[in-house]
Amino acid sequence: MKTSITAAALALLVALGIAAAKSPELVPLTFAEHLESKNLFIKFYAPWCGHCKQLAPTWDSLAEQYSSSSSVLIGSVDCTAVKAKELCEDYGVQGYPTLKYFKDGDKTGEDYNGARSLDDLAKFVEEELNKKCVVGSEEVMKKTESNCSQKEIDYANKMRGKTDDERKTAFERLDNMKSNSMKPELKTWIFQRMNILNGFKSSSVSDEL
């Protein structure tokens, strides 16, 4: 019954044109290229696998949520594809779906054994893989190592002149919004703003600003 409901809901999303885009499919070459510049969270799967099909909508939503991230890539590897089998063999994949993450250029990878709801997966990415914008002066934030987009810099500049109470109020408003249903990119923007507001709490940042 749950499978039927999920399938019906996904069909409705497709009909409305708001279904999540599929996560990028990786082969050894593209896997290596991304590993050089980003943290990776990878789903190793087989198209015929029932559990993989159940996870697919959630995984694709997660991929869409972080599609604009400069520090993390949510991807998939089809272990039945000729060009991708090598990756699955290299990482000892024996069951599907297997989730692995690769952090700070580490080619070994670690198994992800946590819960697989969208909220749980996104929480893991936020806490472990997504490099956050480092709040400081505008000059500091524009440096590559600060991991700040221009959108984040503009928001920080906007909040720079606010009082502590005003920033606290803004943070609480965003915190209340984060559990609402919305497009993945909008939820990501909520987390990005909350991170910036948290950055202002640091005394060292306050002194610099």
Q: How confident is the model at residue 202, as a pLDDT?
A: 66
User: Peptide bond preceding 184: is omega within 30 degrees of 0, i.e. cis?
Assistant: no
- Residue 118's pLDDT band, with cuts at 50, 70 and 90, is very high
- Residue 13's pLDDT band, with cuts at 50, 70 and 90, is very low
Q: How confident is the model at residue 53, as a pLDDT?
A: 96
The least confident of 15-24, 116-125, 173-182, 183-192 is 15-24
Which residue do the tokens 């190793």 mark? 44
Q: Is the pLDDT of residue 173 over 60?
A: yes
Residue pair 25/76 in contact (Cβ under 8 Å)? The answer is: yes
Which strands, in side-by-side order, build the sheet including 110-111?
Answer: 72-78, 39-45, 98-102, 110-111
- Residue 21's pLDDT band, with cuts at 50, 70 and 90, is low
- 71-89 mean pLDDT: 93
Q: How confident is the model at residue 12, as a pLDDT?
A: 37
pLDDT for 189-203, tens place per residue?
A: 888 898 899 888 764
pTM: 0.68
pLDDT for 43-55, tens place per residue?
A: 999 999 999 999 9
Q: Which domains does the chain have, with CATH numbers?
A: 2-129 (3.40.30.10), 138-208 (no CATH)
Q: CA torsion, points 105, 139, 195, 203, in degrees to nearest 10?
A: 110
For residue 178 the two structure tokens come to: 């984060």
Could you give the CA distance from residue 61 to residue 19 in angstroms, rounded to a whole number? 8
- Considering the chain, what is the average pLDDT of its residues? 83
Q: Is the pLDDT of residue 65 over 90?
A: no
